[in-house]
Amino acid sequence: MPNTRSATKRSMKRLSRRRMHIKKNVFGTTERPRVVIYRSNRHIYAQIIDDANSVTISGCSTLTPSLKDQVAGAKSKLDQAKIVGMQLAKLAQEKSIEQICFDRNGCRYHGRVKALAEAIRAGGIKF
């Protein structure tokens, strides 16, 4: 019987290491803030962060009250990620942000992460 506790611990160490490798290269400025995502098994979260001033400018997730109806009507988690990405693009444009740095937070650029990023691009924000 495999030891699942050590496998989980090893997996979390790898994720933490990937996050640090990404974090040391991706830095958000006032002109070009960083969009960081967090993907859990059930939800997806995204924030726009200005690292120069250490301020979270805006953020949204599948738990945002204004998106509850749209998220509930989505067929899959991929569609939910697209909805969150479009909303984040709207929020960025309201704050007059045209360019961002994308921080995938150690996750592969695949599936829900990719769908969210493409929805932000479709909303008119450049990477």
The pLDDT of residue 25 is above 60: yes
Question: What integer best gives the mean pLDDT of the chain?
Answer: 92
39-93 pLDDT, tens digit per residue, is 999 999 999 999 889 999 999 999 999 999 999 999 999 999 999 999 999 999 9
Whether the CB-CB separation of 82 and 115 falls below 8 Å is answered with yes
Q: What single string gives the DSSP state of each residue in 43-89?
A: -EEEEEEETTTTEEEEEEETT-GGGHHHHHH-SSHHHHHHHHHHHHH
What's the pLDDT band for 2 if we cut at 50, 70, 90?
Answer: low
Instruction: Say yes or no to pLDDT of 1 above 70.
Output: no
CA–CA separation, 90 vs 94, rounded Å? Answer: 6
Q: What would the two tokens of residue 21 be? A: 């490798």
The pTM for the full model equals 0.86
The full set of domain ranges for the chain reads: 4-122
Q: Hey, what amino acid is at 82? A: K
- The CATH class of the 4-122 domain is alpha beta
Contact residues for 87 (Cβ-Cβ < 8 A; gap 6+): 60, 64, 66, 67
